[in-house]
Structure 1
């Protein structure tokens, strides 16, 4: 009898249980994939890229190549949130922010010291994550956000949406996410660099000219705003001063006939040591790496290859440092190195997290090429010990 009463009571209570009434069905949401943030005439201008996941689901390419992968919404407001709510007026479904992959900051929003507001917006909202990639640009944001990857690959696999994939092949500028950006701006010397992205119009298909996104240099950023830009030819030194560099190259002249040769460098290990003498600080840098020769047109020695690598890498490291000093930036975060290894001296010399730097602040650069790989065995005879 008790079992029957218990069963009746349980059946009655189940009618009081709530279901998933407040859950939004996936097909009734728009998924924000990217955001562009600009600032003009006292207003924030936001560009929201909404991606169609149904068109690229379970595939690296769109199911329908003719279908539109994304649409861009544009709105203005006195705050970022105000502009987004203006966008909500014209959107058909609820916007979900949990899949946002990257954000592009315009030159104007960085130059007007609005980056802190952007970071505040991103870190406060519960749906956003700290793995969002951050970029800077001089290009119109609406033009950048509609560029489709080469061969009509899915937008989720674009250079901006999936930067690590291409970074493994050519490590020019290390991608930076929201977490590292926040950390970098809160640690000495309160400066970071972002990849500077642009539109490359050098591709051609059977339908005519194509566009792709390329990394053109770096954007130097501080808590106070934009410090400036370094283009590709002036920013090459950063890849040799970064333990996260996977693979990159140098090209120089070698041998009696001064033939050009390209060498890839990998397995980098960078060590920066502050040298303090009477409150005068300099830095010794040691860079270990392996070299891989890609093409040889005459007989050369491994020592000649080592000398070329040492000369070229040191030159690029010093040139990038010199260019950054002209913008009053500590691009190699030497101030932080002193802070980590000799905090007492750092406290005496620092000003707003930075120490004074000159071209002589880098005392020595030691390049150690631990291994030279000649490539395929069919060409091994052109390299001698």
Structure 2
């Protein structure tokens, strides 16, 4: 009986082995990515703009889309026509509803994983519930935290359709790639979504949101003015509220308390006439905290390197450094005063006090940090400029002309 059962078992195993190739054949015919979309079946969103329409009590969302296939075909071809920018617009009582209208009326599936820039309108930034809109934006899983964030008073569609110089791709403009512009002239440091989010919710942190605008002042094509993107200032955001906006001229003092500053110009004048131009870089600073009449006071120690770009009269290195130090101190105090008018802590003095009081109980720590800043709170500013180079010439060569 045992031998009979063994024979039957072998037959069953043999039949199973014969059936195995038949069962595996359909599996081999299946695609490995059965739910994937082809590249040409998706529409790629490159930038998102959000604003609020108070008269209609609606949110408006703009999406900028660029055809990657046309961008790729244009590489290496000198006679390329400008690639048009497609803009989708959706409105609704909430940000989610406005985005839903765009997606419902799209011919293809929209892919949001290539968004490199977020543009927030002036009206939206001044709303009290802007944090609700931002939280809805942050929640969508395809959005990446590496995108750049800007504010603007100008028309968002106008910024989206602005043409790049020399018919280049729009992905190289300030909206999508602000680092090159900041490297050339370190005005307001560009901010990514991850750093913006961290500062937005951090206690006593003043976030500077670069303001993007259009200008016809600087570029022309065949003598015809061309609107170009530029950084015109910054919004001050503290305590999850927008305090206001300052122009580039009011924010000159930020150069000297930003470690990433690569190129900041310093014009030295005498009697209303320009006598020297210095290119400053690599500032380093220290905040020294103290008390005076029971109130917190702060001293700043700043050091910065400088290169002579122009010298119109003979000056020694010590004379140049002294004039530069006085001018830098004036700019720091002027920017500090401009921030105080908006109740903003541009230099992070309150945040410094909050962090240094870490050993205290949370309630006492918050009380110390919440003490209002005054103009007298910024006491002494000691600036040490180091003239490290005369450019192509030495200072002696300048003075011998």
Q: TM-score, normalised by structure 1?
A: 0.91
User: 2:151 aligned to 113, 136, 145, which one?
Assistant: 136
Aligned counterparts of 2:78 and 2:59: Cα–Cα separation in 1: 35
* Alpha-carbon offset, residue 270 of structure 1: 1.8
Question: What is the aligned-residue RMSD (CA, Å)?
Answer: 2.7
Aligned residues: 383
Deviation at 1:301, TM superposition (A): 0.9
Report which stretch shifted further, 9-18 or 176-185: 9-18
Q: Per-residue deviation at 1:10?
A: 5.0
Say yes or no: does 1:204 pair with 2:220: yes
Rounded Cα–Cα distance in structure 2 between residues aligned with 1:328 and 1:23: 51
Shift of 1:57: 2.3
Paired residues for 1:299-378 under 5 Å: 299-343=314-358, 344=360, 347-348=363-364, 350=366, 354-377=370-393
Residue 214 of structure 1 deviates from its aligned partner by 0.7
Whether the 8 Å CA contact 2:49–2:156 is kept in 1: the answer is yes
Residues in 1 aligned to 2:273 and 2:99: alpha-carbon distance in whole angstroms: 58
**Residues 1:370 and 1:11: Cα distance change in structure 2 (over 3 Å):** farther
- Residue 266 of structure 2: aligned partner: 250
C-alpha displacement of 1:6: 4.8
The reply on whether 1:294 has 2:305 as its aligned counterpart is: no
SS at match of 2:227: strand
Question: Per-residue deviation at 1:236?
Answer: 0.8
Secondary structure at the aligned position of 2:184 is classed as coil
Deviation at 1:298, TM superposition (A): 1.9
Counterparts of 1:369 and 1:375, CA distance in 2: 16
Question: Using the alignment, how far apart are the partners of 2:14 and 2:330 within structure 1?
Answer: 86
- 1:25 equivalent to 2:38? Answer yes
Larger Rg: 2
Q: 1:222 aligns with which of 238, 258, 278?
A: 238
8 Å CA contact retained: 2:307, 2:390 = yes
**Using the alignment, how far apart are the partners of 1:145 and 1:304 within structure 2?**
48
Q: Normalised by the size of structure 2, how large is the TM-score?
A: 0.88
1:112: Cα distance to partner? 1.2
Q: Distance in 1 between matches of 2:396 and 2:175?
A: 39
1:34 deviates by: 0.5
Work out which of the residue numbers 53, 58, 62 in structure 2 matches 1:47: 62
Q: Which moved more, 1:152-161 or 1:363-372?
A: 363-372
Secondary structure at the residue paired with 1:12? helix
Distance 1:307 1:7 in 2: 93
Structure 1 residue 64, shift from structure 2 partner: 6.4
Query: Could you tell which deviates more after superposition, 64-73 or 333-342?
Result: 64-73
Shift of 1:327: 0.5
Deviates more, 1:350-359 or 1:134-143: 350-359
Contact 1:45 1:83 (8 Å CA) reproduced: yes
The 5 Å alignment of 1:22-171 reads 22-40=35-53, 41-57=56-72, 65-171=80-186
Q: How far is 1:260 from its partner?
A: 3.0
Secondary structure class of the residue paired with 2:216? strand
- Contact 2:82/2:168 (<8 A) preserved: no
- SS at structure 2 position matched to 1:121: helix
Give distance in 2, aligned partners of 1:158 and 1:61: 19
Q: Verify: 1:240 aligned to 2:253, yes or no.
A: no
Taking the aligned partners of 1:23 and 1:340, their CA distance within structure 2 comes to 48
| Unaligned runs of at least 5 residues, structure 2 | 1-9
